Structure formats: structure tokens, C-alpha cells
Amino acid sequence: MVTASVILEDDYSHPRARDPLWRESAWFTISVPERKLHGFICVDLRPRLRTASTGVVLYEPVGEEVYDCVHYDWVERPAVDVEAALFEFSKPDNLAVRCVEPGNRYRITYDRNDVELDVEFNGLAPVVTSPFEPGSDGWGSGQDEQPGRMTGVLWIRGEKHSISCVSSRGRMWGVRDYRRRSWAEFPRHDRPWFNDGAGRAMSMYTVPTREPERDFVHYASDRLLSGWFHDGVRTAALVRGDRKVLERRRDGVATVVAIEGEDELGRRFAAEGRRVALLKWSGLPGLIAFPALYEWQLDSGDQVWGGTCEVFPADFFRQFVRRSRGRY
């Protein structure tokens, strides 16, 4: 089972390599589904460089750019407390992420630029370790994930929103080097996920089956890199998975995605998802990412919330979009 090697100490800092690109990061999703509002909270510490990239980002169907979305506060700051544990983190601009109960509960508060946030993440299943396959050195040393529910309150320019939504949180550590590594170690990839709020949840990372020169992106079927499935009782690693974009806009944004997979217990799932809201994000060096809110139609007939986060190496995406427009 994929939860076997998870230790609660992974909520705190790990022994650090000498490489300056060593990082400790955590992220949480948040949404107001009835308003089609979605976003994320992220803390990305690089202690060897004495810097931190952190932020709260919110977006809806109208406004997909960082300059016209609902709220965009992603900044890099120097001289952070490099000895602080990841979940004992706070910033001068009033973002704080605290561990209430290791491996289960986390409180997030924030107050800046007319946006206030006071929410708590509660896990709906045990923490899942989701290691990457051998050879994927550019991704880092370790990764944990957890499906959960986010509750609390969000204020946006004086308007109050009660938060009671499904959520997904992730935790990564290690030398994440997507600038010097080869395509095989850090290719185009996506992370489809869903969470029904009652225990059934899934997350998977998918990568192309072809090298960049033959990766046409449109209608390509991407294979499983890592992932897990939880049925409300047991969690197991995915042993097979496939993701295919059924519809994609001319600017490269996926709008309809189909996924299917099977875990090590023989349990299968399939779903078709439609994009609800999306952000075009270049907050990480050398990458173009599309974090998105999706509504999934499961093979059971249920409709559930979740998301995707398709990520492209920036130069690859630039060439792909220009080719789509008949330019080189």
C-alpha cells in the first residue's frame, strides 16, 4: 500500500543536500464551486538560497491572466528564517501556514490587498506517499499528497465567502531541478485529481509517451508516472493510467480531459472532466503551468469537483503554440 512509508516527520524539514536547488514546498487548493472560484496557497522554501516563493492565488472563468484574475499575490522574498519548519511558516505580508495535527489538520491565515483568509484543511484519508519512478531525478526526492476538505471563511474586497470545499494538498522536498535536467527527467506533464468529499479520491501524474520532437500534444495519450486511488477505506498505488485531452483551445489550454486507471488492488476508474476556471501561470522559472478547476463525470455517473495542473517547459510550450498558429 502506498501509505506504508509515510512518516509524520515529513511534515517538517528534511536533512538538506548541499545543492542550492534543494527545496521544501507545500500547496493547498481552495475553491468556492458555486461561484466557480478556485485557487491555491503555496509555500516554497529554498533554504540554501535563503529565499522563499509564497502566495495566495484566486481565479474564476473571467480573468485567466495574472494581471486580471481575482487575486494574485505570488512573491519571492530573501532572507527568510531558513531554520523554520515548513508548517511553522509565516511572512511579513501576513501569510501563515501552521500544522495543527501532523498528517491531518493545517490552518492557513492571510490578510493582504483586500483579501482575507482563515481556513483549515482536514484530511479525508491518510497521507499518501506518491514517489516518482526511477530516473525522474528532476522532480525531487519525495512527495506526499492527501485528499481533504477545506473549511473557513474568505473575504474578497468586503464580500464574505464561506469555505466548505473539497481540497487537495501536496508536499515535496529535494533537489527539484527543471532547468538543467533532460526532457526525460522533467517533461510536459499533468496532474488530474478528483475528490467527492465522502472518501473517494484520486490523483495521478501523467507524462508523454513520445520525445518532444514527436509530442504533438493535441489528442496525445499520456501515460502514468505515479498516482493513487482511495475508495473511502483503502488507498493503493496506481499501476496503470492514461490521460487524453479531448478538446484544446488554440492558445494551448485544455478544456476537456479524459482519464482512466487501475490500482494495485484491481480497482478501476474512468472520468471525463470539463474545465471550469483556469490560470495561465509562469510563477516557476522555466515553466508554464495551467492550474485549473474541473468538474468530473465519473464512470459511476457521479459528478465531483477536482482539478488539473498541466505544466510545460516554457520553450516547448512557446514552440507548440507558435506551430499551432502556423508560425515557427
176 found inside a domain: yes
Contact 325, 251 (CB under 8 A): no
| Main-chain dihedrals φ then ψ at residue 15, nearest 5 degrees | -55, 135
Answer for the pair 307, 168: CB distance below 8 angstroms, yes or no.
yes
Q: Which residues contact residue 34 at a Cβ distance below 8 angstroms, ignoring those fewer than 6 apart?
A: none
Q: Report, as an integer, the average pLDDT of 159-167.
A: 97
What amino acid occupies position 79?
A
Residue 6 lies in a domain: no
pLDDT in tens, 175-221: 776 555 555 556 788 999 999 998 899 999 998 887 766 777 877 78
Domain extent, residue 230, equals 22-324
Among 262, 266, 185, 196, which Cα is nearest to 228's?
Answer: 262
Structure confidence by residue, pLDDT tens digits, 37-94: 999 999 888 777 777 788 899 999 999 999 999 999 998 876 455 555 566 666 656 8
Asked whether residue 265 carries a pLDDT value surpassing 70, the answer given is: yes
pLDDT, the chain, mean: 85
Question: Is 16 inside a domain boundary?
Answer: no
2 belongs to a structural domain: no
Does position 264 have pLDDT exceeding 60, yes or no? yes
Indicate if the pLDDT at residue 302 is higher than 80. yes
11 close to 171: Cβ distance less than 8 angstroms:
yes
30 assigned to some structural domain: yes
3-class SS shares of the chain: helix, strand, coil, % to 5: 5, 55, 40
- Residue 290 placed within a domain: yes
Q: Is the pLDDT of residue 246 over 90?
A: yes
Let me know: does 25 contact 44? Beta carbons within 8 Å. Answer: yes
Asked, for residue 276, whether it belongs to a domain, the answer is: yes
Q: Over 80: is that where the pLDDT of 135 sits?
A: no
In a domain, 219, yes or no: yes
CATH of the domain at 306: 2.40.370.10
Number of domains in the chain: 1
